[in-house]
Structure 1
């Protein structure tokens, strides 16, 4: 579908769907622009909702989601950077409707089906993260299924647990907190309490450390919503009311787990983590998320902050060489930050020109 056809189809949408298309497009643009904060090569990690819109298109459905995706890929192809499309094992798991493969024949059929679907509709080569063979797919799908069961059981246990908590604890009790008027006690805000009460799930596929913030936020939400907890204290020491992560990874009303691929994409494509991973010229290919899920898009957007550091510097005549080395390393990191800003500026300018072209073609005239 070319640009004129996309614009034509967008004008056939209902007003609310047109607004949703623009919202989706802005989320996708933000993800694309944010990705070049990192150094390439770039892996464009597709969310399940991208693939679902392509499946629907094959069946004759032209949705606002599809049109925003096609526009985003037009923008990607105008950037002076190479993006390789990648499917993560969790996305393949969701493509299989969370079912196991029964044979190498079935694996090849579903693998080829997904590969051809994406490549033909988006006109780009598709790569896979370790699931291109039956043995690899079987291995990862088992790990994902086991982790899915652990996560489901954990979220159910959270629902049944009594979250009453005393926000005033004795100093040295194992909780982090703030000093109270009585030095024998500390004040423990809900967020600090949640971090201390969290226990690792023993995940095998997902990065336990990076996934932990999802479960910490569940605990924090439960503590805040517990009727028996001190509301006056929480009003003073808690400002959170959105709890995005609990909307991304959740149990559906029927009890099935929703958001496994989103958890994978967030922990893999978090810009903040990856910028640190690439420090001091460490080779770490950049993973850029592409999703039209609003909650995941917002969470990813809030993870784009990044910084550089010199590390700890200890003064004194005996440490002059160490100080010089660390300051030199910091200057190299500063160059990396400037290069990052330059790439981001190029992406922004490309987006600006692309949006001007859309407006010139009256793409959003009905809004």
Structure 2
């Protein structure tokens, strides 16, 4: 679908859908711009909702989501960087409707079906993360299914648990906190309490440490919302209102788990973590999540802050050479930051020019 056809189709949308199309596009542009904060090569990790819009398009449904996705890929083609589209195992799992495969033939059929769908509609080659063979897919699907059951069980336990908690605890009992006038006790803010109360789930597919943020936020939310807990402490030491992670990964009213692929994309495509991973010229290809899910988009946007480090510097005459080396390393990191800002600026300028062009063509006008 070319630009004129996209604009034509957008004019046929209801005002609410037109607004949603614009919001989707802005989220996608933000994700694309944020990706080049990192050094390439670049991997665009597509979310299940993008695949679903392409499937619906094949069935004759033209949605605001589809139109925003097609516009985003027009922008991508304007950028002077190579972006490879990638499907994560969890996204393939959701494409299979959370069912296991029974044979190599079935794997190849679904694999080829998805590959053809995305490549034909988006005009870019699709790559797969470890699920290009039946054996690899079978391995990952078993791990994902196992983790899915553990996560669902944990979230159900969170729902059932009594979260009554005394924010004043004895010092040395495993909680971090702030000293009180009585040195035997400390004040434990809700966020600190949540971290201490969290127990690893024993995840096998997901990175336990990166995924823990989701479950810790669930615990913090429950502590804050428990009517028996001290409201003064909560109001003073917690400013969280949205609890975004609990909207990304959640149980439906029927008890079904949704958001596995979103959890995978967030933990894989977190710009903040990846910028640190690329420090001091470490080779770490950049993964950028591409989604039109509002909550995941906001979560990804909240994980774009980044900084440089030079390592710990100890003073003293015996450490002068070490200090020189670390200062040199810091200068290299500062150079990396400047290059990052330059790439981001170019992406921003390209996006701005793209928006000017499509608006001039009549986009987002009724």
Query: What's 2:125 paired with?
Result: 125
1:312-334 Cα distance to aligned partner (Å, 9 max, x none): 11111111001001000000000
1:201-254 Cα distance to aligned partner (Å, 9 max, x none): 110000000000000000000111111111122111111111000000001111
Query: What's 1:16 paired with?
Result: 16
Deviation at 1:182, TM superposition (A): 1.8
How far, CA to CA, are the matches of 1:179 and 1:311 in structure 2? 30
How far, CA to CA, are the matches of 2:26 and 2:345 in structure 1? 17
How far, CA to CA, are the matches of 1:95 and 1:153 in structure 2? 23
Task: Give 3-state SS (helix, strand or coil) of 1:183's partner.
Answer: coil
How far, CA to CA, are the matches of 1:89 and 1:26 in structure 2? 27
How far, CA to CA, are the matches of 2:247 and 2:348 in structure 1? 30
Task: Give 3-state SS (helix, strand or coil) of 2:218's partner.
Answer: helix
Query: What's 2:201 paired with?
Result: 201
Task: Give 3-state SS (helix, strand or coil) of 2:127's partner.
Answer: strand
Query: What's 1:144 paired with?
Result: 144
Query: What's 2:89 paired with?
Result: 89
Question: Within 5 A, what are the aligned runs for 1:1-367?
Answer: 1-366=1-366
Deviation at 1:159, TM superposition (A): 1.0
The aligned length equals 366
How far, CA to CA, are the matches of 2:5 and 2:62 in structure 1? 11
How far, CA to CA, are the matches of 2:19 and 2:50 in structure 1? 18
1:142-189 Cα distance to aligned partner (Å, 9 max, x none): 000000000011111111111110100111111000111222211000
Task: Give 3-state SS (helix, strand or coil) of 1:127's partner.
Answer: strand
How far, CA to CA, are the matches of 1:71 and 1:284 in structure 2? 28
Task: Give 3-state SS (helix, strand or coil) of 2:199's partner.
Answer: coil
Deviation at 1:42, TM superposition (A): 0.3
How far, CA to CA, are the matches of 1:18 and 1:292 in structure 2? 14
Segments of 4+ moved more than 3 angstroms: none
How far, CA to CA, are the matches of 1:352 and 1:235 in structure 2? 40
> Structure 1: any 5+ residue segments left out of the alignment?
none
How far, CA to CA, are the matches of 1:152 and 1:76 in structure 2? 36
1:297-346 Cα distance to aligned partner (Å, 9 max, x none): 00000000000011111111111001001000000000000000010011
How far, CA to CA, are the matches of 1:173 and 1:136 in structure 2? 44
Task: Give 3-state SS (helix, strand or coil) of 2:99's partner.
Answer: coil
How far, CA to CA, are the matches of 2:359 and 2:159 in structure 1? 49
Normalised to the residue count of structure 1, the TM-score between the two structures is 0.99
1:75-114 Cα distance to aligned partner (Å, 9 max, x none): 0000000000000000000000000001111101100000
Task: Give 3-state SS (helix, strand or coil) of 1:166's partner.
Answer: coil
**RMSD after superposition:** 0.6
Deviation at 1:196, TM superposition (A): 0.4
